[in-house]
Amino acid sequence: FLFVLLTISCEEAECPEIDKTAVWRIFPKLYLELDRDRVVNTADEWAVILSGAGEDTSAELWNIDFEKYTLLLRKGNCTGNVYINSHLFIQKDDFFYLYQIQVTQYGDRPEEFIYGMVVEKLPEEAIVRFEVTE
């Protein structure tokens, strides 16, 4: 089993309290074609991304209600194989969000991967900063 931990942590003065129910689903490493960070708000945009994913793509990826949720995706590159230890999603102000993953690298084979999560619908003006830490 792949265990993924949602981590909500920050200094009280640094960020407001966030409702943990804001995160609906966290995906393990995904192997999709992705050219840039994505904040996906429509089923049509998601269908374009999934169209190059191949037939072995999980049906779970297709079942996102974009009336209620936003999908966050980013391509990560590491110098070794990667295990995702935790995901962090916090709202810094009205329109600025941080999505951070903590990884452990092992082995010596470079790896490119996609990570993502589905959160409650973000405003169209939302800016999401993605970070990878070790």
Mean pLDDT of the chain: 74
**Of 5-14, 26-35, 45-54, 86-95, minimum mean pLDDT range:** 5-14
pLDDT, position 20: 45
pLDDT, position 82: 75
Cα separation, 95 vs 116, in Å, equals 19
What is the Cα 10 distance to its own chain's centre?
18
- Is the confidence at residue 121, as pLDDT, over 90? yes
The closest of 27, 55, 43 to 118, measured between CA atoms, is: 27
- Is the confidence at residue 25, as pLDDT, over 70? yes
Q: Are 8 and 89 in contact (CB under 8 A)?
A: yes
pLDDT, position 55: 54
Q: Are 4 and 26 in contact (CB under 8 A)?
A: yes
The closest of 76, 81, 84 to 105, measured between CA atoms, is: 81
Prediction pTM value: 0.74
Q: Are 78 and 103 in contact (CB under 8 A)?
A: yes
Best-predicted range by mean pLDDT (14-18, 20-24, 108-112, 117-121): 117-121
- Is the confidence at residue 134, as pLDDT, over 90? no
Per-residue pLDDT tens digits for 50-106: 776 655 555 556 678 899 999 999 887 777 777 788 888 888 888 999 988 888 878
